[in-house]
Structure 1
Amino acid sequence: MGAVTFETLAFGTTADEAFTSAVEDAKHMHGHNGYTGTIAEKTSFTIIPEHEHKGRQKRTVARELIDQGDQRIQRKRGPAGAINCSGTKAANRYREQHGLEGTHGDVWLFFGWAAH
């Protein structure tokens, strides 16, 4: 099977909670049979340190890491990348769309390669 890239936003009081929520949502939407090309294929993630993306568009950073074949996220069966997006326009929009204004937690961007 091949691999495709994915990007997804998720909310949680911790990165672990946001990741679990993103995986469960993807499984619900795309099935549990594997090879979905989504975060549903992932079992772990690695956080990209803030100094690597501070003041930059988070999705741009994620796409650059994918395009550059960054060792941390390059394998379809390896970990997803994770960037904390809290305070960005995308995170604020996500909070509004999901009724999360004023709720404690962070919006995370998960990204990488997944089996398809």
Structure 2
Amino acid sequence: MGAVTFETLAFGKTVEEAFSKAVEDARNMHGHGGYTGTIAEKDTFEVIPECEHKDRQKRTVARELIEEGDKRIQSKRGPSGVINCSGTIEAKRYRERKDLKGKHGDVWLFFGWASR
């Protein structure tokens, strides 16, 4: 099977909660059969430290890590990468779209390679 890249935002009180929600949402949208090319194929994640993305566009950093073949996220069978997006314009818009204003938690960007 091949692999494709994915990017998805999710909200949670913890990164673990956000990851679980993102995986479940992807399974509901794309089925439970596997090889969806989404975060549904992942069972772990690797948090990218703030020092690597501070004051930078989060999606740009994610795409650079994918393009560079960063060892933490290069495998379609390995972990998803994840960056905390809270405080960004994209996170604010996500919270508004999902009616999350005033709720405690963070917006996370999950990204990487997935089986397709």
State the identity %.
74
The one-letter code matched in structure 2 to 1:6 is F
Matched, 1:94 2:59: no
Normalised to the residue count of structure 1, the TM-score between the two structures is 1.00
Is 1:51 the equivalent of 2:51?
yes
Matched with 2:26 is 26
Q: Normalising by structure 2, report the TM-score.
A: 1.00
Q: Which runs of 4+ in 1 moved over 2 A?
A: none
Match of 1:74, SS state, is coil
1:100 offset after TM fit, Å? 0.2
**Residue in 2 that maps onto 1:3:** 3
The AA in structure 2 aligned to 1:23 is V
Structure 1: any 5+ residue segments left out of the alignment? Answer: none
**Which SS does the other structure have where 1:111 is aligned?**
strand
Aligned-residue RMSD, C-alpha: 0.2
2:12 & 2:110 partners in 1: Cα distance?
12
